[in-house]
Amino acid sequence: MGQGKLEGQVAVVTGGASGIGKACALRFAAEGAEIVLADLRGERLEAAAEELRRTTNGRVLAMPVNVTEEEDVEAMAQRALTDCGRLDVLLAAAGISHAGYVSGSSAGERGDTVGATNGGLLDVPLANWNRVLAVNLTGVMLSNRAAARCMIAAGNGGRIVNIASSAARIPLVGAGDYSVSKAGVAMLTQVLAQELVEHGIRVNGIGPGFIGTPMTQGMQDDEEGRANMLAMTPMGRLGTVDEMAATALFLASDDSSYTTGQTLYPNGGMFVG
Ligand code: NAD
């Protein structure tokens, strides 16, 4: 047996086919965890699972899941128990920047910036609002409780890490649906931390600043968009997915054994306190 921080453990990662979720899955696997990689059905999920197997030699189960569908999410948690024998960690990263966002689609059709204007809350179509809240907030709630039920049944405690956003603390004009959904994730993290503490389950969150992933690709490719991101970031650069994975590993491992209900904001100094 190796010396990894998650040796012998099972981690479920939603949004695991891309960006921050994939980087967290890779890091967890490198630390000895078996991974249930959950994302929307498709080639990207299979490709990410294959990449994980190749680079870590670890066991990886690819699981097609839409986090807005309760049956999918319950099946995902159950699969960890039935196929892997346990569920120790949930990393909830599945998310969208706005209602029309399709991760990994080409820049021209994407318009996928975090903070992409949708005309403001007075104009945002209700269907768009509902879509962002369904994926970013309800999806996290459903995954959290499905995982927590399995963790409680197994009786070994567990750790849940939710990917919120610095937009939980910064009101993004023109992306109110996104900001509100992420503020909801931060509060969900606090409530669940209190509800689950008696079961030995710790619940924490991460609120990234601007990170180099497909979600910010549109802004990275646009001169003004890039300048805006850097102007909001005192460190003067985007964060990397590996920096997010390092924060996730801290919260998913015993390194943070006395921490629950917190959202950490690795955002290059975007705000303090
Ligand atoms: P990404 O597009 O690379 O990854 C998001 C993943 O979520 C994709 O693989 C996508 O298929 C999956 N997903 C979307 N809807 C889903 C659904 N209904 N069910 C299952 N999976 C679904 O983007 P990313 O930047 O890695 O984003 C990961 C998380 O980080 C998101 O929650 C995002 O809001 C958050 N975040 C990102 C940034 C950033 O700058 N990139 C900043 C703050 C927060």
Model confidence pLDDT, tens digit, residues 184-234 = 999 999 999 999 999 999 999 999 999 999 999 999 999 999 999 999 999
- Please tell me the distance from the alpha carbon of residue 136 to that of residue 87, in angstroms, as a whole number: 22
Pocket test of ligand 1: the residue of 215, 228, 238 to mutate, having most ligand atoms within 8 Å of its CB, is 215
Q: Which pLDDT value is given to residue 2? A: 74
Distance (Å) from CA 93 to ligand 1 centroid: 6
Q: How does DSSP assign 24-60, residue by residue?
A: HHHHHHHTT-EEEEEESSSHHHHHHHHHHHHHH---E
Distances (CA, A) of 30 to 33, 197, 228: 7, 28, 35
**pLDDT surpasses 50 at 111:** no
CB 215 within 8 A of CB 103: yes
Find out whether the beta carbon of 186 lies less than 6 Å from any atom of ligand 1: no
Q: What is the mean pLDDT of the chain?
A: 94
pLDDT value of residue 116? 55
Contact 88, 81 (CB under 8 A): no
Residue 178 binned pLDDT confidence (cut-offs 50, 70, 90): very high
Is there an atom of ligand 1 within 6 Å of 67 CB?
Answer: yes
Give me ligand 1 centre to Cα 13, in Å: 11
For range 266-270, the mean pLDDT? 98
Edge-to-edge strands, sheet with 201-206: 60-64, 34-39, 10-14, 89-92, 158-163, 201-206, 263-264
**How much is the average pLDDT of 126-131?**
97
Rounded CA-CA distance 168/150 in Å is 28
Q: Is residue 238 in contact with ligand 1, taking CB distance under 6 Å?
A: no
Does the pTM surpass 0.85? The reply is yes
Is residue 218 in contact with ligand 1, taking CB distance under 6 Å? no
| Cα–Cα dist 194/178, whole Å | 25
Q: Which two tokens stand for residue 209?
A: 């600043």
Residue type, 163: I
- Position 85, amino acid: G
Ligand 1 proximity of 214 Cβ (cutoff 6 Å): yes
Nearest CA to ligand 1 atom 13: 94
Does 266 sit in the ligand 1 pocket, CB within 6 Å? no
Kindly list the catalytic residues: 178
- What mean pLDDT do residues 249-260 have? 98
Percentage of the chain exceeding pLDDT 90? 92
**What kind and span of H or E run contains 90?**
strand 89-92
Q: Which among 163, 229, 267 is the best mutation to test ligand 1's pocket, defined by most ligand atoms within 8 Å of the CB?
A: 163
Pairing of strands 10-14, 34-39: parallel
Tell me, in angstroms, the distance from the centre of ligand 1 to residue 15's CA.
Answer: 6
Tell me the best of 189, 213, 237 to mutate to test the pocket of ligand 1, counting ligand atoms within 8 Å of each CB and taking the most. Answer: 213
Phi, psi of 232 (to 5 degrees): -85, -5
Three-state DSSP at 69 gives coil
